[in-house]
Amino acid sequence: MSLVPGSDSLTQIISLLTYAFFIVFIFYGQRIQMYIMVREVENNLHKLRVIKDEGRKTAIEALKEMGKPTSDPSARVDRYLDYFTISPQTMDPSGIVYKLDHILDMRDERLKEEVRLMAPAAAGDEVQINNLENTLEAAMALNYIYKVVRHYYIQGKKTLSLYVIMQLQMILPMVMKEAEAYGSALKAFAYGQPIGDSVGPLIASRLMHGYEARKVYKDCVVASVPFEGRTALVLKAEGPGGNVGKPGDAIEGVIEEQQGKLAMVIMIDAGLKLEGELVGEVSEGIGAAIGGPGVDAFKIEEKVTKYKLPLYAVIVKEDIGDAVSPMRREIHEAADKAIERVRDIVKERTKEGDTVLIVGVGNSIGVGQ
């Protein structure tokens, strides 16, 4: 017998509510979970739309400020943002690298032509054209990210597929991080500020400072520099405009000029860090330190293999957000550490009088010769 009046009734109510909760959870738990995920995806999609719209607005303002167009460039910008590139067929992989190289060259020229049409006042200034192209490409990346996320969101909502929404919700933190990085990169590109990916050209620029640089194939420059009793041929993309050049072709050309008589090739680039590693850590390795679709890496590997040249790599670690955002102090300071690492490699693995090729890979925006 209960000593508290009404306690039996209260216990029965709580038990009924518990049973009701479990019954609802069994039959509708998955759907409730999906609605929670859909709501979270909707919130992130709204943030993506804001970032994408801000990117478009920044690109249009940069075009108006630097290019002085006679009419509103908004319609052309919208057309530019939807531009796409179709990769070559891979059914027969023979020669695919050079097919892809040709398509990428055509894409680059086509996009630059569009920029010249939208920004007539900047048409004769390659630095401004390159900066505006980089700005529009960042806006294009944001536009593409938004459309892909929206596609899977709508598809998952239409089909009420928990697994589509769940996969989208799981990768959204990484997608949002990348989108925010591109968003912060827009003004850096528009105003020619160095970004994290500029660390390779920054190191090359410090090494060649005060020495005459000559232009080599496709927007790259090289300078002959005395270095630890050796001769260093220092190569980078031409700056200070937003430009990565074609380091694969440039390295091929320099190696052929030297008839393969190099003691080594050292490539310096930004490298993706793992979580827990510090931004600006410097690491040393072997191989072609270069990103992108692989065309440049293929050409470099072909040429160093032909002449049996040692190929060393030095990377400055950063994450994807750092790579496209204005250069952080830690990355700028890491340039001195990377130069010391290059000095050690050259002194330990070559002898005095040798010639070495040092390549600063990356976007030369804000970094001159």
| Confidence (pLDDT) at 187 | 80
Smallest CA-to-CA distance from 290 within 246, 343, 339, 224 is with 246
Return d(Cα 231, Cα 31) in angstroms, integer: 68
- Res 125 pLDDT > 70: yes
| Confidence (pLDDT) at 7 | 61
Return d(Cα 254, Cα 205) in angstroms, integer: 18
Please state whether the peptide bond connecting residue 240 to the residue before it is cis, i.e. omega within 30 degrees of 0: yes
| Confidence (pLDDT) at 66 | 87
* Segment 189-200 mean pLDDT: 89
| Confidence (pLDDT) at 92 | 85
| Strand stretches in 228-340, DSSP E | 230-237, 264-272, 282-286, 311-318
- The structure tokens 């065309």 sit at 295
Positive or negative, the Cα torsion across 315, 318, 324, 325?
negative
- Res 124 pLDDT > 90: no
- Res 2 pLDDT > 60: no
A 10 A CB-CB count for 229 gives 12
Return d(Cα 218, Cα 328) in angstroms, integer: 29
pLDDT in tens, 53-91: 999 999 999 899 888 888 888 989 999 999 989 999 888
As a whole number, the mean pLDDT across the chain is 89
Identity of the residue numbered 217: Y
Given a contact cutoff of 8 angstroms between Cβ atoms, the answer to whether 67 and 120 are in contact is yes
Q: What are the phi and psi torsion angles at 216 (to 5°)?
A: -120, -170
pLDDT in tens, 95-109: 899 999 999 999 999
pLDDT in tens, 252-269: 999 999 999 999 999 999
| Confidence (pLDDT) at 5 | 53
* Segment 343-350 mean pLDDT: 93
Please name each of the domains of the chain with its CATH number.
28-191 (no CATH), 196-360 (3.40.50.1470)
- Res 163 pLDDT > 80: yes
pLDDT in tens, 16-30: 777 777 776 676 666
- Output the six-digit token pair for 38: 């859909």
| Confidence (pLDDT) at 247 | 93
Return d(Cα 138, Cα 191) in angstroms, integer: 13
What pTM does this model have?
0.85
Return d(Cα 114, Cα 32) in angstroms, integer: 48
Return d(Cα 121, Cα 58) in angstroms, integer: 18
| Confidence (pLDDT) at 1 | 44
* Segment 117-134 mean pLDDT: 87
Give the 3-state secondary structure of residue 224: strand
Smallest CA-to-CA distance from 237 within 249, 245, 228, 229 is with 245
